[in-house]
């Protein structure tokens, strides 16, 4: 089973990223043959950004992944821009990706609306680069959160269309979206997902938040005017907190509802905060020492890129041959 996933170098990863994606990466590294994880700096440049900051945030993200338990001896961890095969494959796949499909991508609609100076063509083409990231490794499984479902559907379509047009070359990947925690919601606006770029800091818990900040954010989380601790469409805030508590403790959601029957929101929110503090503590404690050694981080990334390139270059060779691009293969 080959596993691949990518994550943006935004540095300050939030609880949604941790539960929806990072936790799955750690779980996947022993199932993956291999498990390949990529920090997607080329995706980050499709919106306004500061070049000086990008490298720093890339190291931050690498250190968070290592602190969370990724082990370079058990997986491949690398920086997207170090493996040029991604960008070449993105261009080649552009030949079988419908413009109309890209037009339907929710993420493009949402993100383009927030760009003040320029809506880049790169932002529009982003899902094709994301397809190249995965298809270059012939991955079977892609661990992601719910918000990436549409992009995974598109990459499946691209792989299918490529194989139909040029012959069986690429693997059609499946998403792996967790049952609980696939969409962690914002604590202040629980009808929308917790996000790096949208909403106030009080609505998102960062993986590296101090205990005090975590308690404050859960203490002021928006709930509703009722009293019952149960899941329901009319109870977005409480439903979100039940999901978070379930993931952090491993206790099923129905059991949590039973355990808190008759108890107040105050006690419940405190229990969620306690659980999340404990859940994130190992990452927060391991992080500073790992982040401090940029030489070691660079070594992890460049070794990872060498291993990644070995796999991706073989796929590229097959894709170029199938498409009739470049020097003909030796006869």
- Whether 182 and 145 have beta carbons less than 8 Å apart is answered as yes
Does 20 contact ligand AQP by CB under 6 A?
yes
- Residue 19 or 96: the one with the smaller Cβ distance to ligand AQP is 19
| Closer of 139 and 184 to ligand AQP (Cβ) | 184
Q: State how far the Cα of 331 lies from the Cα of 319, in Å rounded to an integer.
A: 17
For 44, the token pair is 């980050």
User: 66 or 184: whose CB is closer to ligand AQP?
Assistant: 184
For 121, what's the count of Cα atoms within 13 Å in the CB-facing half-sphere? 3
Least gap, CB of 270 to ligand AQP (angstroms): 23
Q: Is 193 helix (H, G, I), strand (E, B) or coil?
A: strand
| Cβ proximity to ligand AQP, 4 vs 162, nearer residue | 4
CB distance 32 to 1 below 8 Å: yes
Give the residue with the Cβ less far from ligand AQP, 129 or 194: 194
Applying CB under 6 A, does 223 fall inside the site for ligand AQP?
A: no
Neighbours of 216 (CB within 10 A): 15
Piece of the chain touching ligand AQP by CB under 6 A; list 194-202, 266-274, 291-299, 314-322: 194-202
CB proximity list for 109: less than 8 A, separation 6 or greater: none
**Smallest separation (angstroms) from ligand AQP to the CB of 113:** 12
Closest CB to ligand AQP among residues 145, 304: 145
183 binds ligand AQP (CB under 6 A): yes
Residues paired with 175 in a beta bridge: 142
Residue nearest to ligand AQP (CB): 20
Q: Six-digit token pair at 180?
A: 């609980």
**17 is a contact residue toward ligand AQP (CB under 6 A):** yes
Q: Is 197 in the site for ligand AQP (CB under 6 A)?
A: yes
- DSSP state letters, 35-53: EEEEE-HHHHTTSS--HHH
Tokens of 294: 């940029």
Of 211, 209, 242, 206, nearest to 224 (Cα)?
Answer: 242
Q: Does 196 bind ligand AQP (CB under 6 A)?
A: yes
Least distance CB 8 / ligand AQP (angstroms): 4
Strand ranges for 10-98 from DSSP E = 35-39, 76-79
Rounded Cα distance, 262 and 264, in Å: 7
Each residue 108-147 as x (binds ligand AQP by CB under 6 A) or -, in order, gives ------------------------------------xx-x
Cβ contact 322:167 at 8 Å: yes
- Site membership for ligand AQP, residue 198 (CB under 6 A): yes
* Sole window of 6-14, 245-253, 256-264, 270-278 interacting with ligand AQP (rule: CB under 6 A): 6-14
180 scored as a contact of ligand AQP (CB under 6 A):
no
Residues that bind ligand AQP (CB under 6 A): 7-8, 10, 16-17, 19-21, 144-145, 147-148, 182-184, 193-198
């Amino acid at each position: 089973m080959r596993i691949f996933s990518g994550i943006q170098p935004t540095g300050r990863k939030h609880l949604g990223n941790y539960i929806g994606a990072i936790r799955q990466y750690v779980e996947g590294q022993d199932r993956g043959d291999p498990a390949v994880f990529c920090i997607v700096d080329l995706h980050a440049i499709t919106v306004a950004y500061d070049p000086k900051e990008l490298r720093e945030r890339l190291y931050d993200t690498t250190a968070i992944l290592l602190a969370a338990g990724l082990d370079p001896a058990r997986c491949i961890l690398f920086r997207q821009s170090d493996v040029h095969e991604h960008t070449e494959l993105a261009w080649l796949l552009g030949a079988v990706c419908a413009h109309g499909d890209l037009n339907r991508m929710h993420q493009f609609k949402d993100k383009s609306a927030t760009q003040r100076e320029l809506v880049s063509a790169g932002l529009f083409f982003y899902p094709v680069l994301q397809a190249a990231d995965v298809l270059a490794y012939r991955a079977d499984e892609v661990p992601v959160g719910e918000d990436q479902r549409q992009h995974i559907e598109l990459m499946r379509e691209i792989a299918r269309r490529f194989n139909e047009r040029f012959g069986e070359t690429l693997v059609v990947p499946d998403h792996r979206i967790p049952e609980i925690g696939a969409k962690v919601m914002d604590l202040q606006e629980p009808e929308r997902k917790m996000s790096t770029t949208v909403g106030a800091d009080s609505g998102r818990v960062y993986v590296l938040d101090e205990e005090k900040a975590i308690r404050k954010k859960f203490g002021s989380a928006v709930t509703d005017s009722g009293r019952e601790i149960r899941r329901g469409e009319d109870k977005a805030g409480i439903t979100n907190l039940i999901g978070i508590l379930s993931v952090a403790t491993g206790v099923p959601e129905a059991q949590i509802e039973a355990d808190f029957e008759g108890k107040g929101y105050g006690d419940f929110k405190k229990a969620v905060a306690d659980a999340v503090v404990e859940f994130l503590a190992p990452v927060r404690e391991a992080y500073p020492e790992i982040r401090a050694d940029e030489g070691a981080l660079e070594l992890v990334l460049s070794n990872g890129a060498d291993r990644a390139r070995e796999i991706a270059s073989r796929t590229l060779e097959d894709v170029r041959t199938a498409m009739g691009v470049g020097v003909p293969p030796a006869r």
